[in-house]
Amino acid sequence: MIVDSSAILAIVLREPDQERFVDAIVEADTCRMSVSNWFEATIVVDRRGKTEAVNRLDDFMQRARIQLMPVSVSQGEIARRAWRTYGRGIHPARLNYGDCFAYALAKEIREPLLFKGNDFARTDIEPALKD
């Protein structure tokens, strides 16, 4: 399963629906995250200036054994196509830069994507959680 930054942020920022994301990660055989999405999550928690959230992010990533995956050229190409198809200002999915890399990793290794929100639901990505 591929994990988007939105799912990790729901957990470390203790959003009301955090448990569904924790459960999905715990139940998955393997969890992977694009290093670009991990960096995106670190920016969000660092910008909020909450030391405990920064610590929770680092701790959760380690305890959950989420594998950080490098960005490849082929993922860059998939991300570019995703932007052209589903990007903000182009399509109702409104994918941003980070979203396109989560999409690309999920597509490249053919795994479902764990995410929060409706953006990816408007694409052809396979969701890890079925509502």
Task: Extract the annotated binding site for Mg(2+).
Answer: 4, 99
Binding-site residues: 4, 99
For every residue of the chain, DSSP letters joined together read -EE-HHHHHHHHTT-TTHHHHHHHHHH-S--EEEHHHHHHHHHHHHHHT-HHHHHHHHHHHHHTTPEEEPPPHHHHHHHHHHHHHHBTTTSTT-B-HHHHHHHHHHHHHT--EE--SSTGGGTTPPBSS--
The identity of residue 87, as a single letter, is G
The residue with tokens 């909020």 is: 48
Q: How many residues does the chain have?
A: 131
CA distance 121 to 66: 23
